[in-house]
Amino acid sequence: MYSRGKYPPWGLRGGGDGSYNYIQIRRKDGTEERYNSCTGVKLGTDDVIRVITATGGGFGDPRKRPREKVREDMKNEFITVEQSRGVYGLEG
């Protein structure tokens, strides 16, 4: 059972909300199920269970983050190019 499965961790001072906690079951046939709380879920051979932990909420306006830090986050694969543009407003 997880908390923060319905409401994400909130951001402060202009920071965005975090992501959710959940449990994902990917069945052998490719279908997926998502749970915040579960017991007695029947599993089959080759089903995969993933436990996804939330990210915390942000602090401050992400567009004010120093450009060199955003580029470093991209280099370290913490964020994508799309996120650097959409969330952080990085141009080029």
What is the rounded distance in angstroms from the CA atom of residue 77 to the CA atom of residue 5? 25
Residues in the chain: 92
Task: Break the chain into its structural domains and give their ranges.
Answer: 1-58, 61-92
Helix H, strand E, coil C: the string for the chain is CCCCCCCCCCCECCCCCCCCCEEEEECCCCCEEEECCCCCCCCCCCCEEEEECCCCCCECCHHHCCHHHHHHHHHCCCCCHHHHHHCCCCCC
pLDDT digits (tens, 9 = 90+) for 31-87: 999 998 888 899 999 999 999 988 889 999 999 999 999 999 999 999 999 999 999
pTM: 0.63
